[in-house]
């Protein structure tokens, strides 16, 4: 009987119930309602709770982000199992996951469902990249999502859900200033407005903006050849510009996102040099409409357009000169059919056209043709499906995606998930295949590339230990066949891509979340071993179980302590084990390595709310309290020295939220 499955948890909850005041406040109802509604669609088309969703999912809430004083996604993701960071080239920092470098198209980042990965290489650029105080929730699939999201969702998916009209119901502004010893780390302004107009049929509109200046580091970049370049005085700047406009009326949704990181870097392809200006510009838009035929059948047509100018360097004297545009036009139709309560079937098709072109015909620096042509165009057709069946045995989710690229051919990735709640426990068994389609520039440098293919097997067990206390442990086995690997020659800037034979990892991750009226505590741990999986020599280290840049162990803790009604204190700490960095070659040409010791980053942030005015909040804190040399190591051996990250920074954020009638 289904009753028996929930009885254990209910018994615990009921037994604890006398502790609740019998004359309760409606605020408790609001909180309970929010928990009951907490479902996600990040890992499935059919909404499901985190415990039932067919993926290993972490959700980070706005409250957690704002209270922690996080400055960017790096600060947030440090506390999520599996994520690490590394440097590519030209000052760009990106993600590794489970011991695999995810920089080029292996990890999908979305803002409100719009893909942020740039289309020429598939990369992301992290560090002061988004206004994290505007995030409503960060939904993270710690595992593949290709069956749903396609060729950039090979290792993980990060969906940034920003605050919309319903959450804002007014205006919000925040000024953030951070200061390290020698220079400011960030000075930015974040503004939002959102309102639902009932008189206009429930029209919801929101507008969010963020702009300012930031710096990557104040420490110098010392390359592997004995040269050094300071990163102060704007030489490592990251100046963000961001606009997010949304409107929703009945079933029609429109969104436009503009994003620009205007940067300077001194590391080029590895050699320290004079600062080079570079920008990463994205413009994304979408229109969708949900057409409900009846209670059982609905269609969602959607059109998305994305235009990007990534890695844009206009200095023709620089070895990294580059000026190209890429765009993608996507048409998608999803149908969801739920013939009976226990069964949901979703299927759809997607067509997208990718184009790339040179904005400048001078073939100097990094500016090259696309296989001999100034323009390139590819077409892709995809079909996807997902079926969810709720059976007495377990919930079963089966899905697949077939994608056919006009040059590299087809990929087919199935997924299968079994989820089961036997309260207070929950269990998941997940099998997924995923892929990464080569991006335009990958193919320009090597038209013989084939899609890399990944198989991931995961199992998760969770337990609701008590009200507000939840623990989960998951294990994974990840194998990438034919990985597309990048390397660059520092002196000449000559770049190449090749399909290698295999890489991957296996490991374990765990999370413990506790929350009560006194505050909250989140503990996270992750471990990987590359063991026999990795056969990419550019990733290898003297220890076969480890790859470059990524620590085998990561342990993080974040607490939020309520001190009275208006004050909270949020300490957080991340400890990582030692890492390997490549340092060059010895006289015989064999690679040489150094190790970066274990590292503890400690942060403290305090927030005072309603200072004089209701809605006026002030946050003050320190990041990297011990002033640890937090470096980003290159995860592939391509003669790039570790790139310095932020030093100890004092952080101040003043925000004001005003509700409008």
Partner 1 sequence: MLSQRDVPQYAQVAAGFQKVNPQARVADVSDGAPVVRDSDVIVAIGSKAFELARAQPGTAAIVAAGVLSPQPGGSHPITAVPMESRAVDALDALRALAPNARRVLVLHPPGDSPMLAEARAAARARGLSADFRALGDLSGLEGALHELLQGQQALWLLPDARLARPEVAKFLVATCLDRKLPLIGFLAGMAQVGALVAVAADFDAIGREAAKLASDVAARAPATRSGVPFRFVAGHVLVNGRTAQQLGLSGEPPAGAEMIR
Alpha helices in 120-249 (DSSP H): 146-149, 165-168
Among 181, 182, 296, 316, binds partner 1 (CB under 8 A): 296
**6-14, 90-98, 118-126, 256-264 -> range binding partner 1 (CB under 8 A):** 6-14
Q: Cα 558–561–563 angle (5° rounding)?
A: 160
Considering the rule CB under 8 A, would residue 15 count as an interface residue with partner 1? Answer: yes
From the list 28-36, 129-137, 264-272, 484-492, the region that binds partner 1 by CB under 8 A is 28-36
Write out the two tokens for 93: 């920092």
Query: Is residue 28 a contact point for partner 1 (CB under 8 A)?
Result: yes
**Residues 367-426 contacting partner 1, CB under 8 A:** 423
**622 beta partners:** 604, 650
Element (H, E) at 22: none
Q: Given the complex with partner 1, which of 38 and 369 has the nearer CB atom?
A: 38
Minimum Å gap between C-beta 298 and partner 1 is 9
If one asks whether residue 39 binds partner 1 (CB under 8 A), the answer comes out as yes
Q: Which of 11, 291, 363, 448 binds partner 1 (CB under 8 A)?
A: 11
Q: Does 615 bind partner 1 (CB under 8 A)?
A: yes
CB of 159 to partner 1, least distance (A): 20
End-to-end C-alpha distance for the chain, whole angstroms: 49
If binding is defined by CB under 8 A, does position 32 make contact with partner 1? yes
Q: Which is nearer to partner 1, 598 or 611 (CB)?
A: 611
H or E element, residue 58: strand 57-61
**Letter string b/e over residues 79-114, b meaning 16 or more CB atoms within 10 A of that residue's CB:** bbbbbbbbbbbbbbbbbbbbbbbbbbbbbbbbbbbb
- Judge contact between 442 and 432, C-beta under 8 A: no
Shortest approach of partner 1 to residue 295 CB, angstroms?
5
Alpha-carbon gap, residue 147 to 3, rounded angstroms:
34
Contact segment (CB under 8 A) with partner 1 among 9-17, 240-248, 319-327, 572-580 equals 9-17
Q: If binding is defined by CB under 8 A, does position 338 make contact with partner 1? A: yes
**Nearest CB to partner 1, comparing residues 169 and 222:** 169
Residue 535 near residue 544, CB atoms below 8 Å: no
Q: Which is nearer to partner 1, 57 or 235 (CB)?
A: 57
Q: Whole-angstrom Cα distance, residue 90 to residue 277?
A: 10
Name which position in 41, 59, 61, 169 contacts partner 1 (CB under 8 A): 169
**Angle, alpha carbons 200-294-251 (nearest 5°):** 25
Q: How far is the CB of 8 from partner 1 (least distance, A)?
A: 9
Of 512, 619, 624, 622, nearest to 558 by C-alpha is 512
Pick the piece of the chain touching partner 1 (CB under 8 A) from 1-9, 145-153, 403-411, 446-454: 1-9
Pairing mode, if any, of strands 203-214 and 184-197? antiparallel
Beta carbon nearer to partner 1, 604 or 658? 658
The reply on whether position 563 binds partner 1 by CB under 8 A is: no
Pick one of 25, 317, 492, 587: the residue that binds partner 1 (CB under 8 A): 25
Smallest gap from Cβ 43 to partner 1, in A, equals: 18
480-517 as b/e: b if 16+ CB within 10 A: bbbbbbbebebeebebebbbbeebbbbbebbbbbbbee
Q: How far is CA 106 from CA 6, 135, 438, in A?
A: 38, 23, 10
Least CB distance from residue 199 to partner 1, whole Å? 9
Q: Does 201 bind partner 1 (CB under 8 A)?
A: no
Q: Does 37 bind partner 1 (CB under 8 A)?
A: yes
Out of 63, 614, 626, 627, which residue is the one contacting partner 1 (CB under 8 A)? 614
CB-based contacts of 434: which residues, under 8 Å, 6+ apart? 144, 145, 146, 147, 153, 154, 155, 413, 453, 454, 455, 456
Quick check: 241 and 258 in contact, CB under 8 A? Answer: yes
Q: Which two tokens stand for residue 532?
A: 């026999």
Closest CA to 507 of 490, 524, 526, 535: 526
Q: Where in 495-554 is the site for partner 1 (CB under 8 A)?
A: none
440's CB contacts (< 8 A; 6+ apart) are: 119, 120, 121, 326, 354, 356, 370, 376, 378
Q: Residue 399 and residue 173: Cα distance in Å, rounded?
A: 42
Nearest approach, Cβ of 449 to partner 1 (angstroms)? 43
Stretch that binds partner 1, among 33-41, 93-101, 262-270, 501-509 (CB under 8 A): 33-41
Q: Output the DSSP codes for 376-427.
A: EEEEEEEEEEEEEEE-SS-EEEEEEEEEEETTTEEEEEEEEEEEEEETTEEE
Contact region with partner 1 (CB under 8 A), list: 336-344, 403-411, 452-460, 483-491 = 336-344
| Apex 401 CA angle, 399 and 403, nearest 5 | 175
Q: For partner 1, which residue of 262, 467, 477, 543 counts as binding (CB under 8 A)?
A: 467
**Which region among 24-32, 130-138, 266-274, 405-413 touches partner 1 (by CB under 8 A)?**
24-32
Q: Which stretch binds partner 1 (CB under 8 A): 155-163, 572-580, 626-634, 653-661?
A: 653-661
Residue 290 contacts partner 1 per CB under 8 A: no
Decide: is 226 part of the binding site for partner 1 (CB under 8 A): no
Q: Which is nearer to partner 1, 24 or 406 (CB)?
A: 24
Q: How far is the CB of 40 from partner 1 (least distance, A)?
A: 13
Contacts (CB under 8 A) with partner 1, residues 139-168 = 167
Choice from 201, 340, 393, 588 touching partner 1 (CB under 8 A): 340
Residue choice 598, 610, 626, 627 for contact with partner 1 (CB under 8 A)? 610
Stretch that binds partner 1, among 16-24, 88-96, 542-550, 626-634 (CB under 8 A): 16-24
Task: Report, in Å, the least distance between residue 505 CB and partner 1.
Answer: 35
E strands, 406-500, are 409-422, 425-436, 452-466, 469-481, 484-488, 495-499
Q: Are 607 and 601 in contact (CB under 8 A)?
A: no
In the complex, what is the shortest distance from the CB of residue 4 to partner 1, in angstroms, rounded to a whole number? Answer: 9
If binding is defined by CB under 8 A, does position 341 make contact with partner 1?
Answer: yes
CA within 13 Å, CB half, 358: 18
Chain contacts with partner 1 (rule: CB under 8 A): 1-3, 5-7, 9-15, 17-18, 20-30, 32-37, 39, 167, 169-170, 198, 295-296, 338, 340-341, 423, 464, 467, 566, 609-610, 614-615, 657, 659, 661
């Amino acid at each position: 009987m289904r009753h028996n499955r929930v009885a254990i948890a209910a018994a615990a909850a009921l037994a604890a119930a006398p502790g609740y005041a019998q004359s309760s406040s409606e605020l408790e109802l609001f909180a309970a309602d929010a928990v009951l509604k907490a479902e996600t669609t990040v890992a499935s088309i059919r909404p499901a709770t985190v415990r039932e969703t067919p993926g290993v999912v972490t959700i980070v809430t706005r409250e957690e982000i704002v209270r922690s004083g996080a400055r960017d996604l790096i600060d947030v993701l440090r506390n999520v199992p599996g994520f690490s960071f590394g440097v590519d080239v030209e000052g760009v920092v990106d993600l590794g996951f489970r011991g695999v470098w995810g920089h080029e198209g292996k990890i999908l980042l979305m803002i409100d469902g719009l893909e942020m990965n740039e289309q020429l290489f598939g990369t992301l650029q992290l560090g002061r990249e988004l206004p994290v105080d505007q995030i409503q929730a960060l939904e993270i699939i710690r595992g593949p999502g290709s069956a749903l999201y396609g060729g950039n969702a090979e290792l993980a998916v990060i969906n940034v859900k920003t605050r919309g009209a319903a959450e804002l119901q007014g205006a919000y502004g925040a000024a953030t200033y951070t200061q390290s010893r020698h220079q400011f780390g960030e000075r930015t302004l974040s503004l939002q407005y959102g309102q639902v107009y009932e008189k206009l049929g429930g029209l919801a509109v929101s507008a969010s903006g963020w702009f300012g200046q930031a710096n990557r580091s104040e420490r110098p970049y010392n390359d592997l050849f004995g040269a050094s370049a300071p990163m102060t005085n704007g030489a490592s700047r990251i100046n963000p510009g961001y606009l997010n406009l949304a409107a929703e009326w009945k079933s029609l949704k429109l969104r436009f996102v503009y994003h620009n990181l205007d940067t300077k870097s001194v590391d080029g392809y590895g050699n320290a040099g004079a600062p080079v200006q570079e920008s990463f510009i994205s413009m994304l838009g979408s229109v969708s409409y949900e057409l409900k035929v009846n209670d059982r059948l609905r269609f969602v047509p959607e059109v998305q357009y994305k235009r990007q100018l990534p890695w844009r360097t206009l200095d023709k004297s620089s070895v990294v000169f580059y000026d190209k545009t890429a765009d993608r036009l996507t048409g998608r139709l999803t149908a969801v059919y739920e013939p009976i309560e226990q069964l949901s079937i979703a299927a759809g098709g997607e067509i997208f056209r990718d184009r790339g072109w040179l904005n400048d015909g001078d073939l100097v620096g990094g500016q090259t043709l696309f296989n001999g042509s100034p323009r390139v165009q590819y077409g892709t057709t995809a079909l996807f499906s997902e079926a969810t069946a709720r059976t007495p045995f377990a919930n079963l989710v089966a899905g697949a995606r077939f994608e056919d690229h006009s040059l590299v051919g087809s990929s087919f990735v199935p997924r299968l998930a079994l989820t089961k709640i036997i309260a207070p426990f929950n269990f998941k068994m997940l099998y997924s295949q995923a892929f990464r389609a080569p991006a335009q520039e990958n193919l320009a440098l090597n038209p013989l590339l084939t899609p890399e293919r990944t198989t991931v097997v995961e199992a998760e067990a969770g337990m609701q230990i008590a009200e507000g206390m939840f623990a989960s442990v998951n294990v994974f086995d990840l194998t990438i066949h034919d990985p597309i690997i990048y390397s660059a020659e520092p002196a000449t800037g000559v770049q190449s891509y090749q399909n290698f034979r295999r890489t991957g990892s296996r490991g374990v991750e765990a999370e413990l979340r506790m929350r009560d009226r006194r505050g909250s505590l989140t503990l996270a741990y992750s471990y990987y071993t590359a063991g026999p999986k990795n056969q990419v020599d550019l990733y290898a280290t003297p220890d076969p179980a480890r790859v470059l840049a990524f620590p085998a162990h990561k342990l993080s803790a974040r607490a939020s302590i309520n001190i009275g009604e208006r004050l909270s204190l949020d300490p957080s700490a991340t400890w990582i084990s030692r890492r390997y960095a490549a340092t060059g070659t010895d006289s015989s040409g064999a690679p040489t390595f150094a190790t970066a010791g274990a590292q503890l980053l400690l942060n403290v942030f305090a927030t005072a709310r309603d200072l004089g005015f209701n809605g006026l909040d002030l946050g003050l804190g320190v990041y990297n309290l011990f002033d640890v040399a937090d470096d980003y190591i290159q995860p592939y051996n391509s003669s790039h020295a570790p790139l310095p990250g932020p030093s100890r920074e004092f952080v101040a954020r003043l925000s004001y939220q005003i509700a409008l009638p």
